[in-house]
A and B are shown apart, each in its own frame.
Chain A
Amino acid sequence: MAAGGGGSGDPLSRAGVPCAFSPQNQAYFALASTDGHLRVWETGNNRLHQEYVPSAHLSGTCTCLAWAPARLQAKESPQRKKRKSEPVGTSDQIDLLALGTAVGSILLYSTVKGELHSKLISGGHDNKVNCIQWHQDNGCLYSCSDDKHIVEWNTQTCKVKCKWKGDNSSVSSLCISPDGKMLLSAGRTIKLWVLETKEVYRHFTGHATPVSSLMFTTIRPPNESQPFDGITGLYFLSGAVHDRLLNVWQVRSENKEKNAVMSFTVTDEPVYIDLTLSENREEPVKLAVVCRDGQVHLFEHILNGFCKKPLTSNCTIQIATPGKGKKSTPKPIPVLAAGFCSNKTSLLLVYGSWFQPTIERVALNSKEPHICLIRDISNYWAPKVETALTKVRTPVMNSEAKVLVPGIPGHRAAIKPVTSQTEELESKRKLGDKEVSIEERLGAMDIDSKKGKEDLPQTNSFPVLLTQGLESNDFEMLNKVLQTRNVNLIKKTVLRMPLHAVIPLLQELTKRLQGHPNSAVLMVQWLKCVLTVHASYLSTLPDLVSQLRTLYQLLDSRVKTFQKLSHLHGKLILLITQVSASEKTKEMICPGQKAKLVYEEESSEEESDDEIAEKDSDDNWDEDEEEKESEKDEDVNEENEEEDEDSEEKDEEENGEDRDVTIEKELNGDSDLDPENESEEE
């Protein structure tokens, strides 16, 4: 029993499953698998369109299939002209599919109705049908079989029109000439028949094994000057079982030349061949050959006369799995079929298992001789009944996707150049620090800090720890410092921290602010404190804008959420601090703070000592802002200036804070917060 479909036991049977693209725009792909099922896939969305199981699918497996030429569905009556719009013909509908079976019957299946349309049995073949070809015009069907005969069917009546012996052995392949008047048939040798008389017109040598595919490659003769009788001068192609050469033959007027004109070499037996017809002399024939080893070979050649050497492919396409990790190596995915799209520049590839093939459209614009496409088909194995019905595709949304929300760098404007700058600066500074630090650590600094520690009551500040943490970027150390909730402690620490650590601290704070909201709450305290205390220092920095841009954006976007509330808050704070500060000025004691660690001569405190009071520093800040904005365009700048002018009214929290600083400074002099703290301690 020939249960194995194409007779798997037969060594001379062709490899691969019978499959075909629907004509014209390749909307469907029909595949008759070895389990006897016929499946039709939609090439556009890779969806199973329908599945059909012939009643005798176990005994009479499908051995070959062919799509009928498209019929036009919309029948319009031309006399009516009144209608304003009409359907665009619903294009040509693809319908009938002819299936040849292993027992010799031919089934016509209607893909539109999803049912068997008719069955051609009587007077036909009594052995395996090897090839079916539809006539492009008159609706006839030609089939050839292992019983050595070729049969011409009338599909309208489902009767045999003619049956003749085609060869001494089984006839394995057929092809109809472009003008529809000749028929090529092949067992091992190739014969060209005149269809009207059923007489042999030419003989060709053929192959040593049964020919599995025949195809005309040109529809016009190479020499257009000569009168064309429809067949002379045309080239055709043949491929055979177990043969790695595809031969090209030319139909010639003289009967003597029987050998192949040229040949193409491929890596394995051809399984599926598709080509684009060349319509004129200059246009090359494009040929896609799918081999049994799962590769696709592409040839592009202008057919003009002899060539002794077999031609190798211009391009080879392979498909493989990605092979993640070290254990799983990439595995090749076999290509089942390849067909040219109607624009001739892209290729439809069918790959994977015949049970669930993947259909992909690949553009052919690369000049590379070898293309390896990496495809992950693991998720195609699960049958997708649900999606087949609802036609919904869910794109992947995984956690790896980047999330941009207001305040995160990259949401408002570029940060790339800025970060590089700061990195440079930081590295410079660090280098400088390290150069000095060896000396200093050994010398002054260490002793200094120790002294400080000994001198001051150990309790409520850890500037040293903070500085060390910032320098070493020690996460735990920083956590210890930054996760404190004591406002006084924060104030004190900030006040005593070395100035060079301010910017790194700010950057660390910015980073943490973008993190978890819980920690951000703490960081806001720190940030507030740092900005209040070190505003004057910050305003002296020339590259402040670029260094703190992310922070600025962050504040900017956060403030926008409750704009009015923060306005109110800012104003209230302003009032409260003014009141409290004015109260304190009365009992203010001049801070006896000696500069213990002055290695930056122009520290901010001194500056503000020199009564560069509020206005000046405010101006500084304005300048900063201007600098910031100047990178944008002038218009924005104008806006900002406007804003700055009436900043009292529409200020944002940040600015509010700045003003807090300045105003307090104005009132308290430079070390404004110190006395407060001390008094509280007392």
Chain B
Amino acid sequence: MEEEESLRVVRCGGSELNFRRAVFSADSKYIFCVSGDFVKVYSTATEECVHILHGHSKLVTGVQPNPNNHLQLYSCSLDGTIKLWDYLDGILIKTFVVGHKLHALFTVAHAEDSVFVTINKEKPDVFQLVSVKLPKSSSQEIEAKEVSFVLDYINQSPKCIAFGNEGEYVAAARDFYLSVYFFKKKTTSRFTLSSSKNKKHAKNDFTCVACHPKEDCIASGHRDGKIRLWRNFDDDKKYTYTCLHWHHDMVMDLAFSVTGTSLLSGGRESVLVEWRDATEKNKEFLPRLGATIEHISVSPAGDLFCTSHSDNKIIVIHRNLEASAIIQGLVKDRNIFTGLLIDPRTSALVLNGKPGHLQFYSLQSDKQLYNLDIIQQEYINDSDLIQIELTKAAFDCQGNWLATVEQRQEKETELELQMKLWAYNKKTQGFVLNTRVGMPHEDHITALCFCKAEKSENPTLVTASKDGHFKVWILTDDSDIYRKAFGWTCDFVGSYHKYQATNCCFSEDGSLLAVSFEEIVTIWDSETWELKCTFCQRAGKIRHLCFGRLTCSKYLLGATENDFLCCWNLLSCELEWSTKLNVKVMETDPNSENIAAIAQSSVGSDLFVFKPSEPRPLYIQKTISREEVHWGVFVPRDVPESFTSEAYQWLNRSQFYFLTKSQSLLTFSAKSPEEKLTPTSKQLLAEESLPTTPFYFILGKHRQQQDETLNDSSGNELVQLPLTENIPAISELLHTPAHVLPSASFLCSMFINSLLLSKETKSAEEIPDDVDMEEERKSDDSDEENDFTEKIQDTDTIDLGEDILHQLSKSEEKELRKLRKVDYSWIAAL
């Protein structure tokens, strides 16, 4: 840490995974998804991120495997480049500079040296599909300016464009139009939904398009939930379509399986529907996927599907509709009401997760730990329903208590509120509901805080509400003769001139409670609940309120809506200082006196770190983010850092995380990018070297060679893998009556030897296996079959004998022999 660079804002995970369709690698081992400026490579088996491909400077908008090399990957970005990657090693191979903003990328197998992208040229809403010729060159960065126009006036979303029947045509949909361009004829047909003007069908505009891989068939999804299958569309007049209708809401995405026998569709219902044979009757469902299905994709091998969901997750699904893996980012479906909390027990970040859940997100491993189901009601995906929202949550200082507030408001007067207090049960290692409070207040709860004083023996909770009251809840003994029990009861109700209570906050030692009533801050003694004093600055409603800590505990800070930050001295009850600052977020560091305030300015958000006792801020960083910052939190570090520079000392014991309006979680890092690549960890990439198994030699190698010989001796269908009927030993074994068969131990070695045909054949000259050969000769049931085997032997020995011998090393041969001799002896025992 000798050379400290300036602090930089870094993204710390939980980035968006559901922006575009995820794409499978050819062997379905990996999944690629775009995530901000990067492409992430995930393993489908372990859900782990294998590589992050860095290189684009703006949002990556599309990713496609290279159809000509299944180990390569194309990606396009708004920065106007197409990049070619080797995804196994995470290496950038080439960059093609196109120049326009690229919005989507498509590759087609037959178009070898060109890819298709969507660009917008003049107007902001008019997009074109163009093909880009990728010139062959050895240099790293290549200009690719050869752009030829294909289709105009298309939808920006890549879901509305599909290439069909091995690239013979492309279908694109926009609003109520479906246009099909045929590459061979170079003509465009355009179909308009007949009743698009009709009010009844006003919602049947196109949302997505998919093409059948083998036949001339286009499936289109519509806003009203219908799926239309278009056929005969090469004729403008005779075209037909059939309807499939199950979805009650918009069809979000469609995908054909690799063979085209089934069609997958998904929507807001979060049910994956598989339509078999494109008929309405044959449907299979995979329900309860948790959130709206945004994208569906199918692996080229056909064994896996994956769905991207609006709650930032990707589910990998087996062909038999069984979910096998979930790649989950930070859930970003909805508004964050609870703010950022830290669970003292696991030091995980806690915030709103799935609907009705709290998500626990591990910042160290950038992974979601789990979702805690607070509301415990089945979530119904419907846009019109007013759901129960989890609005507030708070932990006490040990993590033994969790308080949550949920609300549902249908009309202005019909507010439903519930507060739940959960106790952490150490025996079962989970939360148990202790007290449920119906309507704790008559109006919205604006703040919730526990008394965090370490020494306090009795947990205390304060709720502040718009109904003008704040309530103090304490844990009391509820034991009766039947059981011992503890429960929460209200201890005190306070109010101040009918003003709405907006914030509450305990001092560090828990002796004082500050409650802000609109413009006025009231200080209460937590022993007697007496009103001690009030502060009023007449500078707008109090937005944030916090006490200083440690040496600054005599200060109280308040940020108002009229852009003032005030600091009061609690000993003299006077205003210590105030400054004009539009504070959006104010957080105290639990390990020091420092307070971080994020202020909103016209160009972005600025960070100020200060001590209440000192007039100068410790650290200022302008424009940490262009967007508004909504929440922030200090996370105590496990191992303290040792920044020597005074400006960064505030980061020594805690790290500051903040969440912006678009829900990206950001933090600060002082490490330079080079430093992060320490030499020790740079290379531990052991080569993959798996000893090939005996079975590989028997089957894999043999099959390869067989394939080659098949190609060589074209049309010679006789050369095939030795089928079981072709092996005389087996046929004899099967056809001989059981009572005349020799003992099993005798038969076994014969049987094994017969399986080792390939080896026998190629090394027949070296190790003459008399018994086997004799057996073969004896047992010629049909002359033809024998002929086949003879032929195989011939071809093998002539064409490939040497080759295989070369490849079989000594040890492997030994292995093979060992296998033959030893391992199958247990069969004899049978």
Contact = CB atoms under 8 A, between A and B. Distances in A.
B428 A379 contact: yes
Nearest to B404: A395
Contact of A414 (B29, B369, B491): B491
A396 B432 contact: yes
Contacts of B669: 88
A344 B572 CA distance: 42
A45 B369 contact: yes
A317 B688 CA distance: 43
B668 to A, nearest CB: 9
Given A44-B346, A406-B439, A115 B45 contact: yes
Contact of B9 (A25, A84, A116, A635): A84
Interface string B418-440: 00001001111111111111111
B755 interface: no
Contacts of A375: 426-429
A300 B496 CA distance: 54
A121 B815 CA distance: 12
Interface stretch (B50-58, B204-212, B295-303, B575-583): B50-58
Contact of B46 (A50, A55, A116): A50
A155 B10 contact: no
A77 interface: yes
A89 B13 CA distance: 9
Contact of A396 (B37, B366, B430, B435): B430
Contacts of B691: 119, 121-122
A113 to B, nearest CB: 5
Contacts of A75: 54, 90, 677
Interface stretch (B241-249, B356-364, B535-543): B356-364
- Among B48, B376, B430, the one with the most A-chain Cβ atoms within 10 Å of its Cβ is B48
A91 B365 contact: yes
A87 B11 contact: yes
Nearest to B442: A560
Interface in B634-688: 638-639, 664, 666-667, 669, 672-674, 676-678, 680-688
Contacts of A367: none
Given A72-B681, A89-B676, A392 B373 contact: yes
B411 interface: no
B429 A360 contact: yes
A398 B432 contact: yes
B43 interface: yes
Contacts of A341: 638
Interface string A93-132: 0011000000000001001111111110110000000000
A376 B639 contact: no
A568 interface: no
B687 A112 contact: no
Contacts of A409: 489
Contacts of B688: 117-118
Contact of B357 (A86, A158, A373, A392): A392
A414 B492 contact: yes
Contact of A395 (B354, B368, B431, B693): B431
Nearest to B655: A88
Nearest to B681: A72
A395 B435 CA distance: 13
Given A72-B682, A80-B57, A27 B364 contact: yes
Nearest to A139: B684
B290 interface: yes
Contact of A119 (B15, B51, B364, B690): B690
A109 to B, nearest CB: 11
A576 interface: no
Contacts of B492: 413-414
A405 to B, nearest CB: 4
Interface extent on A, as a size class? 35 or more
Contact of B436 (A85, A137, A156, A404): A404
B687 A157 contact: yes
A113 B29 contact: yes
A403 interface: yes
Contacts, number: 278
A412 interface: yes
Contacts of B90: 75
B495 A635 contact: yes
B425 A88 contact: no
A343 B371 CA distance: 26
Contact of A322 (B46, B328, B427): B427
Nearest to A137: B680
B85 interface: no
Contacts of A231: none
B442 A85 contact: no
B811 A49 contact: no
B43 A391 contact: no
B487 interface: yes
A87 B13 contact: yes
A76 B54 contact: yes
Contact of B370 (A69, A91, A393): A393
B49 interface: yes
A679 interface: no
Contact of B52 (A83, A87, A95, A405): A87
A76 B357 contact: no
Interface in A49-92: 49-50, 55, 68-78, 80, 82-92
B708 interface: no
B364 A114 contact: no
A361 interface: yes
B812 to A, nearest CB: 11
A412 B682 CA distance: 62
A402 interface: yes
Given A112-B46, A360-B429, A560-B442, A391 B326 contact: yes
B51 A401 contact: no
Contact of B676 (A27, A74, A121, A397): A74
A374 interface: yes
A77 B54 contact: yes
Given A108-B686, A358-B429, A391-B368, A404 B488 contact: yes
B487 A395 contact: no
Contacts of A255: none
B258 interface: no
A361 B323 CA distance: 31
A630 B253 CA distance: 65
Contact of B680 (A69, A632, A639): A69
Nearest to B530: A633
A370 B693 CA distance: 53
A430 interface: no
- Among A55, A111, A114, A136, the one with the most B-chain Cβ atoms within 10 Å of its Cβ is A114
A253 interface: no
- Among A46, A360, A395, A639, the one with the most B-chain Cβ atoms within 10 Å of its Cβ is A395
A393 B489 contact: no
B804 interface: no
A364 interface: no
B345 interface: yes
A374 to B, nearest CB: 6
A25 B434 contact: no
Interface in A10-58: 25, 27, 42, 44-47, 49-50, 55
Contacts of A225: none
A321 to B, nearest CB: 9
A42 B493 CA distance: 44
Interface in B391-437: 422, 425-437
Contacts of B639: 342-343
| Smallest CB-CB A-B distances: 3 pairs | A410-B489, A402-B487, A114-B46
Interface of A: 25, 27, 42, 44-47, 49-50, 55, 68-78, 80, 82-92, 95-96, 108, 111-119, 121-122, 136-137, 139, 155-158, 322, 341-343, 358, 360-361, 373-376, 379, 389-398, 400-406, 409-416, 560, 632-633, 635-636, 639
Given A85-B10, A96-B684, A389-B323, 13 more contacts: A44-B369, A85-B664, A88-B667, A90-B366, A112-B46, A118-B687, A156-B687, A343-B638, A375-B427, A376-B427, A401-B432, A413-B490, A635-B498
